[in-house]
Structure 1
């Protein structure tokens, strides 16, 4: 099992950051273009909420795959958790946390995942997936930051 933690400071209100992070269409716009990620089932547009599902289809590491997640915890505007219910991983849990600090929001992600395939999966987790997933989260969060900060300035 691998744990990846990221943190980014955004010059925008916590409520805006929380809402943008739950926006399905924005998710597909802020992930890597080469993955061709799109929502194909469940909540496919707008903001996802407690108990709701989304299925994404994307190409990662040259493999086309589907992943269905459900929002299993929801504490507006501080936290939400999505958990894989079907997909390529043995397990995956993604904790999104938001902390207001003056005029800024600290967005924290904790991604906990386990690859299938026993010992082979353990090797792939450590050699490839940990770094890949960290870059994926960092890049997506940078995109969210840019959007949130531009929207936050418009709201002033």
Structure 2
């Protein structure tokens, strides 16, 4: 199994608590997801992120094909980190870590680390090279820019 890794580091002009308040709410995931993916939460218990939480949603990541995705929060420490994994969905493995670090100036350094693998062996590697890698880059670039807009454009 070929494992891929994506790392994104972003400085946010907000406190760790403000960042946690936003990112620990599953409903805000739709806000930072590309509109053309038709992301819709199907079910979650309307609570802040916690260990063991299950979130189900649908989206259309490629070619307008609707898929279901089930995420489980496998670790969570308030104002510090949470980890989500895909329980059911298109990846053979999806492991996403989110870290929040308080900086001396009161802002936050947020680090996302995603490990993923695709099914279908060599075919999955080819599909990653041709389609998935670029699509994920676009998704995380959009997320980065949306977070800039939401948090960092407010600085006077």
Normalised by the shorter chain, which TM-score bucket?
0.7 to 0.9
TM alignment of 1:23-62, pairs within 5 A? 23-43=25-45, 45-62=46-63
User: 2: CA distance between counterparts of 1:103 and 1:116?
Assistant: 42
TM alignment of 1:1-156, pairs within 5 A? 1-43=3-45, 45-62=46-63, 63-101=65-103, 102-149=105-152
Where does the alignment leave 5 or more consecutive residues of structure 1 unmatched? none
Tell whether the 8 Å contact from 2:4 to 2:116 is kept in structure 1 after alignment: yes
* RMSD, aligned α-carbons: 1.8
User: 2: CA distance between counterparts of 1:119 and 1:85?
Assistant: 23
Q: Report the alpha carbon displacement of residue 149 of structure 1 after superposing the two structures with TM.
A: 4.6
Structure whose residues are more often helix by fraction: 1
Tell whether the 8 Å contact from 2:50 to 2:75 is kept in structure 1 after alignment: no
User: 1: CA distance between counterparts of 2:132 and 2:55?
Assistant: 22
Q: Report the alpha carbon displacement of residue 144 of structure 1 after superposing the two structures with TM.
A: 2.9
Query: TM-score, with normalisation over the residues of structure 2?
Result: 0.87
User: 2: CA distance between counterparts of 1:139 and 1:42?
Assistant: 24
User: 2: CA distance between counterparts of 1:118 and 1:46?
Assistant: 38
Structure whose residues are more often strand by fraction: 1
User: 2: CA distance between counterparts of 1:76 and 1:104?
Assistant: 16
Q: Report the alpha carbon displacement of residue 15 of structure 1 after superposing the two structures with TM.
A: 1.2
Q: Which has the higher contact order (CA 8 A, sep 6+)?
A: 1
Tell whether the 8 Å contact from 1:2 to 1:114 is kept in structure 2 after alignment: yes
Q: Report the alpha carbon displacement of residue 78 of structure 1 after superposing the two structures with TM.
A: 1.1
Post-superposition Cα deviations, 1:107-139, rounded to whole Å, max 9, x if no partner, equal 111111111111100112233222321321231
Post-superposition Cα deviations, 1:80-100, rounded to whole Å, max 9, x if no partner, equal 000111111111000001111
